[in-house]
A and B are shown apart, each in its own frame.
Chain A
Amino acid sequence: MELRSNETGRAAARGRPPIVNFSGLNHYFGLGETRRQVLFDVQLAMYPGEIVIMTGPSGSGKTSLLVLAGGLRGVQEGSLNVLGREMRGLSARDLVEIRRSIGFIFQFHNLFESLTAIENVQLALDLHSYSTREKRNRAADILTKLGLADRMEYKPSSLSGGQKQRVAVARALVNKPRVILADEPTAALDKESGRIVVSLLQEHARTADATIILVTHDNRILDVADRIVTLIDGRIASRVEVGESILISEFLKKCPVFAHQSPSELTEIAQKMAYEKYPPGAVIFHQGDEGDKFYLIREGQVEVLIDGTSGPIRVATLEQGNVFGETSLLKHRPRNATIRAVAEVELCVLGRDDFEAAMEKSVSFRDQLLRTYAGRS
Chain B
Amino acid sequence: MATPLAWRNLTHNLRRLLLSLAGIGFVVLLMFMEMGFSNGCFDTATHGYTLFNADLVIVNRISTPASPQRFLRERLYLARRSPAVADVIPMYVQVGAQWKIPGEAGLRRVRVFGYDTRQRPFWPAEFAPRDDLRQPGAVLFDSRSRALLGQPGPGTVTQLNGRTISIVGLAPMGADLDTDGNLFLDQSTFFAIFGEADKGRLTPLDVDYGLIQLRAGIDPRQAVEELRQLLPNDVRVLTLSDYCDDVQQYWSRNTAVGFLFNMGVVVGFLIGMIVCYQILFTDISNNLLPFATLKAMGYRTSFLVRLVLKQATFLALLGFVLGLIGAWFLYWLMESQTGLTMALTPLRIAAILLLTLGMCLVAGLMALYRVIRIDPADCF
Contact = CB atoms under 8 A, between A and B. Distances in A.
A135 to B, nearest CB: 9
Contacts of B9: 112, 114
Contacts of B8: 112, 114-115, 119
Contact of A155 (B1, B5, B12, B290): B12
A70 B379 CA distance: 12
B300 A96 contact: yes
Nearest to B2: A126
Nearest to B287: A112
B3 interface: yes
B297 A114 contact: no
A57 B313 CA distance: 47
A3 interface: no
B379 A104 contact: yes
Interface string B291-310: 01110111110000000000
Contacts of A113: 12, 286-287
Given A104-B379, A114-B12, A122 B296 contact: no
Contacts of A127: 297-299
A74 to B, nearest CB: 11
B105 interface: no
A111 B290 contact: yes
A102 to B, nearest CB: 8
A97 B300 CA distance: 9
A183 B12 CA distance: 29
A124 B2 CA distance: 10
Nearest to B375: A72
A183 B293 CA distance: 13
Contact of A72 (B3, B296, B299): B296
Contacts of B326: none
Interface-central residue, A67, A93, A102, A215, by most chain B CB under 10 Å: A67
B376 interface: yes
B12 A73 contact: no
A80 B12 CA distance: 42
Nearest to B296: A104
A110 B290 contact: yes
Interface string B9-28: 10111000000000000000
Contacts of B297: 99-100, 104, 123-124, 127, 171
B298 A99 contact: yes
Interface in B1-60: 1-3, 5, 8-9, 11-13
Given A63-B380, A123-B294, A183-B380, A112 B300 contact: no
Interface-central residue, A98, A113, A114, A215, by most chain B CB under 10 Å: A114
Interface size class on chain B is 20 to 34
A110 B377 contact: no
Interface string A119-136: 100111011000010000
A119 B293 CA distance: 15
Contacts of B296: 70, 72, 99, 104
A43 B305 CA distance: 38
Nearest to B286: A113
Contact of A115 (B5, B300, B375): B5
A66 interface: yes
Given A97-B298, A99-B298, A115 B292 contact: no
A159 to B, nearest CB: 15
A28 interface: no
Contact of B377 (A67, A96, A122): A67
A104 B377 CA distance: 11
Given A66-B380, A67-B377, A108 B3 contact: no
Interface in A66-121: 66-67, 70, 72-73, 93, 96-100, 102, 104, 106-108, 110-115, 119
B289 interface: yes
B5 A122 contact: no
Nearest to A122: B3
A96 B380 contact: no
A97 B377 CA distance: 16
Interface-central residue, B286, B292, B376, by most chain A CB under 10 Å: B376
A233 B100 CA distance: 98
A126 B3 contact: yes
B289 A110 contact: yes
A132 to B, nearest CB: 5
A142 to B, nearest CB: 15
Contacts of A100: 297-298
A124 B296 CA distance: 11
14 contacts: A63-B380, A72-B376, A99-B298, A100-B298, A104-B293, A108-B289, A110-B293, A112-B9, A113-B287, A114-B5, A114-B11, A122-B3, A171-B297, A183-B380
Interface of B: 1-3, 5, 8-9, 11-13, 286-287, 289-290, 292-294, 296-300, 375-377, 379-380
Given A99-B298, A110-B290, A123-B5, 15 more contacts: A67-B377, A72-B377, A96-B299, A106-B293, A106-B379, A106-B380, A107-B380, A111-B290, A113-B287, A114-B8, A114-B13, A115-B3, A115-B8, A171-B297, A183-B380
